Amino acid sequence: MNNEEIIAQLPYSKPFLFVDEIVHINENGVEGTYTFDENLDFYKGHFKEMPVTPGVILTEVMAQIGLVCLGVFLFDNSFNKTASIALTSTEIEFLKPVFPKEKVTVISEKIYFRFGKLKCKVIMKNAKGEEVCMGTIAGMIV
């Protein structure tokens, strides 16, 4: 399965698809990118005078690239429309703000994948290479 096919398998669509590109993927991890469109609805009220990407959205970007894309890759051709993905835990530390129009890179390293549960160490970096958030994310693929 190539990178475009993996993105096509994701159970999301615009405006809630937060994966632009998979840069690299293998059985141990994934690296991908996303650029925040300044017209996304949540910027209208978070915050009024200086829009900042909400932490829950940063977590979602990390989960979509760092967990779900990797899970689709690991399941290979057995991942299909009957598969469900459920987030089971997150522990994220937010270090820097992310603003509209910023491109971020998510780098995920598999901690374990067994019995349908995938847990990863995930880091998000801005275009300057600075870590903006990091932590662990786990989910079940059933």
What's the DSSP call for residue 129? S
**pLDDT 10s per residue in the chain (142 long)?**
899 999 999 999 999 999 999 999 999 999 999 999 999 999 999 998 899 999 999 999 999 999 999 999 998 766 666 777 899 999 999 999 999 999 999 999 999 999 989 999 999 999 999 999 999 999 998 7
Which domains does the chain carry? Answer: 3-141 (3.10.129.10)
Note whether 3 and 22 are within 8 A (CB).
yes
Given 42, 46, 111, 113, the catalytic residue: 46
Question: Is 46 an annotated catalytic residue?
Answer: yes
Strand partners, 106: 32, 124
